[in-house]
Structure 1
């Protein structure tokens, strides 16, 4: 039995709002199983190091890479089901209409935030994926194993921020449509 969040168990404000949110939600539930894999390989490393005195060179970097990527994905996952951080002290005491305007403000600030961070992440990706002459050469960790995880994490951050920008755009459009419809009623 999988222990995942099912959309039917969420209240209406925590439902994925559009097709992109539904894909992010379902994919997030699927890749969350990588946490189990991370725990398993970490257990393997402890066993190899302390029982067999044969430490690995790949487990720590792999576990850090997977954990970092899953943490970054968590941002768009939380946004997809409306579980992001907000100041509920204010949000919960205002009227429904004021809440909608606070949501519009939130989405506008989210667009600005994710847009600026996407630009910064693009710069990081460019530096970590390409040489000054434009040849592809992924930045590596510099360890004995030397995987390209630093470049891949930076690529994941960039991709996730771009998706978040699209999410905020879609949520803003939906919120503005909701305000317009309520005005027409």
Structure 2
């Protein structure tokens, strides 16, 4: 199988987190057709992302797509067998090296001991009984005989190991080559089928649309159920208040919707990681870290959105039956605990963020400024393009794994999340006062 040697650039990671939600939101807000049809764009998108499984054919209700699945299973099986063979090759190679090292070490030792043994035996025979020389000679003879005995045992064990390990290594290498070629040719077969389908896809989409059954009108029961569902479904815009607090509410809604599309990025990245690891045998060193950092930022940014839409989990056995004015009064009395939490989060995040960029990082002006080594004016006056392009400038704290992504932007997202939460708390506080004063 071909290997995938790809590491996501840091700039592409941040650019994707910014651009993807904007594009996804624009596509989601497009006018939707009332008629159900198959889309050529979606067909090609599925072909690129899931064509190896034949999902583009299944999307178009074509059972030909089922042909892809057994071929894909064969690739997975071949990779699994290849991994087993690779482990055997590694184990047997280590066994051969250790056995050869044992022979290289023990054979000279045994030969030396065998050559010295006649002289030691002669000294033992000529030494006076009970004397110090006699005891020393006895000890030297025993040591030499023990060395010869143990050395011969190790030599025999090493030779036996070689006789077993070398054929096993050769067999495993042959198996590894076979399964690699099997997976490679199966993969090329799928790619060839995908290339053919890429040409046929426009016709397949037209055929699938032509075979769509006419939509039947909804029954009275279905219409009533749909009306009930629409009535129960509360649109996010209904949470936006009037007046100046509405600006804060709309900001929270925008940020919550923006980061919600990051979940789609996670699906794409983890799909790439699974395919890269199990199909191509090339696990990434960035996918997991990129996603858990992204989800951490999503959690913080979405806090104000969850507060606005009342999505936070709470026990409201006593709160739910209250009237709007009493609810507002309870919210005002308990808001002190919220502002203690949100204020602590904001202040602590601010400290964390400045600590993150204050980590010494090459000759980065931003880090020098955050550590107080230069003034703000000096930092701005000396700022140039090299601060963005110089690989020696890290701009503060970075992760400890091979990807080495800068961590200081995540710390500043904590600040943004804390600030949004405080602003939404102010909006909630003002609305509660409005309810108490005006009664609505």
Q: TM-score, normalised by structure 2?
A: 0.37
Deviations 1:6-65 (A, max 9, x none): xx94179x6133222123213322331211111111110111111111122221111112
Deviation at 1:93, TM superposition (A): 3.0
The 2-side partners of 1:133 and 1:31 are apart by 31
Within the alignment, does 1:162 sit opposite 2:386 as a pair? no
Aligned to 2:398: 140
Q: Aligned partners of 1:137 and 1:45: how far apart in 2?
A: 28
Structure 2: give runs of 5+ residues left out of the alignment: 1-26, 30-231, 360-369, 374-393
TM-score (ref. length: structure 1): 0.83
Farther off after superposition, 21-30 or 63-72:
21-30
Alignment of 1:38-57 (within 5 A): 38-57=266-285
CA contact (8 A) 2:346 2:419 kept: yes
Indicate the structure with greater helix content.
2
Aligned to 1:177: 434
In structure 1, what is the equivalent of residue 259 of structure 2?
Answer: 31
Please give the residue correspondences for 1:36-185 in structure 2 after superposition, counting only pairs within 5 Å.
36-131=264-359, 133-134=371-372, 137-148=395-406, 150-182=407-439
How many residues align? The count is 178
Greater relative CO (CA pairs within 8 A, separation 6+):
1
Tell me how far 1:179 sits from its aligned partner: 0.7
Question: Which ranges of 4 or more aligned residues in structure 1 deviate by more than 4 Å?
Answer: none
Residue pair 2:252, 2:424 contacting (<8 A) in 1 also: no
Deviation at 1:158, TM superposition (A): 1.4
What is the DSSP-based 3-state SS (H/G/I as helix, E as strand, rest coil) of the residue aligned with 1:88?
Answer: coil
The 10-residue stretch of structure 1 (45-54 or 17-26) with the greater mean CA deviation from structure 2: 17-26
Name the SS of the counterpart of 2:413 in structure 1.
Answer: helix
**Which structure would you say has the larger Rg?**
2
Residue 10 (structure 1) aligned with residue 238 (structure 2)? no
Provide Cα deviations, 1:55-103, integer angstroms capped at 9, x if missing partner: 2222111111211111222211101222223321110233433211111
- Give 3-state SS (helix, strand or coil) of 2:302's partner: helix
Q: Is the 8 A contact 2:259 2:301 kept in 1?
A: no
Q: Taking structure 1 as reference, are residues 98 and 75 closer, same or farther at Cα in structure 2, changes over 3 Å only?
A: same
CA RMSD of aligned residues (A): 2.7
Q: Distance in 1 between matches of 2:432 and 2:408?
A: 36
Alpha-carbon distance between aligned partners in 1 of 2:431 and 2:265, rounded to the nearest angstrom: 37
